[in-house]
A = this chain, B = another copy of it.
Amino acid sequence: MDEFSAAKTAAGVYQWRGELVAAQHRLPGCAVDLGIAEMTPAEAARAGARTMIVGVVNVGGFIPEHWVATMVEALEQGLDLAAGMHQRLNDIPAIAAARDRTGRAVLDLRQPDRAFIPGSGRKRTGKRLLTVGTDCSVGKKYTALALEAGLRARNIPADFRATGQTGIMISGRGVAIDSVVADFISGAAEWLSPDAAPDHWDVIEGQGSLFHPAYAGVTLGLIHGSQPDALVVCHEPVRTHLLGFDYKVPDLRRCIDMNVAAAQLTNPEARVAGISVNTSRMEPTAIDAAIRDIETQTGLPCCDPIRHGVERILDVLLN
C-alpha cells in the first residue's frame, strides 16, 4: 500500500490539524514519511507535544507487538496516547501498567463510548450530505471536510460528522461506525446527525464502499442511517483493484446508481451532487482530460478537492 493508505490517520491529522502536529516518530523500516520533523518521544515531549497518536491503520485494526515498547516509552516521557484501532491500547498489559504508573491518558477512539439502538428510519429535519466511494482510502473524509469548509465559507451552517477514527481525531467528536455492534450501524448513523435547522447541512464522512467484500455492510447501514439528501461519489481513476483485495474497482456509473438506489430507501429525494476525484497518483497532464471524461459520462460536476477545491460541487448542491 502507498503512504496515504498505510499512514492514513497520520496523514489526515497532519493535513487538517497540521498546526497541532509537532513531529512524526517512525519505527525502524517504516517506508512512510510525512516530510516533517522526526523526533523521539522524549524530544517531542520537550518540544511541547502532549499526545502520541498511532497514525497507521491496518486491516483488522490490531496492534503489532513491536509497537508496544515505543508506546510505553511515550507514556514514560509524559505523553498521552491516542489510537483508533479495533484492538484497545488499554487492553495491552504493558500499556495499561505504564498508564497506571505514569497517570497519563490512553484514548481508544475507535471504541464507542455510548450505547446505540437500531435505526428507526424516521426522517429527520435539516439537510445531509454523505460522501461515498468506489473503494476505501479514496478521499471520502477529505472531501467531507472540504465541503464543510466550503459551506461555512459561504455562511451556510454546516457540521462535519466523523465516522472514523481519523475524522474523530480531527473534529474532536463522532462515532467510529465500523466499531459499533452490527445491528446498530444505521442507528448510530441516525444518532450522529440529529434533527437540525432546515438550512443546516450535516456533511457526513463516508466509509468503505458498497462494492467492497469486507466493508459493504458498514457502508449500507451508514447510507440508510444518514438519510442523505445529497451524495458525493469519491473515485480514483487510476486505481484498478480495491486496495489490498483481488477485486476490481466498480464502474463509476454503476457505483453511482447503486448508491442512489440504496440512499433512496430512507430518503426518496437522494441524488448525487458531484464526483470527487483523487488525482494524487495521476500524471498531471492527464488530469484535465480525465475529469472532462467523467463529467461527460456522468453529467455531474467533477473535481479533485485538493487540486481544485469543491466550489463546483457546492454550486450544484446549493442549486
Contacts and interface: CB of A to CB of B under 8 A. Distances in A.
A262 B258 CA distance: 10
A162 B216 CA distance: 21
Contacts of A60: 117-118
Contact of A218 (B120, B183, B213, B225): B183
Contacts of A186: 213-217
Specify how many copies of this chain sit in the oligomer.
2
Contacts of A247: 121, 265
A221 interface: yes
A151 B265 CA distance: 36
A221 B178 CA distance: 12
A222 B213 contact: no
Contacts of A121: 213-214, 245-247
Contacts of A262: 216
A74 interface: no
A86 B181 contact: yes
A119 to B, nearest CB: 4
Nearest to A61: B183
A262 B86 CA distance: 27
A14 interface: no
B213 A266 contact: yes
A216 B211 contact: no
A177 interface: yes
A301 interface: no
Nearest to A210: B220
A32 to B, nearest CB: 21
Interface in A215-253: 215-222, 224-225, 245-247
Interface string A299-311: 0000000000000
Contact of A185 (B182, B210, B225, B246): B182
A61 B183 CA distance: 10
Contacts of A213: 119-121, 186, 224-225, 265-266
A59 interface: yes
A182 B217 contact: yes
17 contacts: A60-B118, A86-B181, A86-B183, A120-B245, A177-B182, A179-B181, A179-B182, A179-B183, A180-B182, A181-B182, A182-B182, A182-B185, A185-B218, A186-B213, A213-B225, A217-B218, A247-B265
Given A86-B183, A216-B221, 15 more contacts: A59-B117, A119-B213, A178-B181, A179-B183, A180-B181, A181-B181, A182-B182, A182-B218, A183-B214, A186-B216, A187-B214, A213-B266, A216-B265, A217-B220, A217-B224
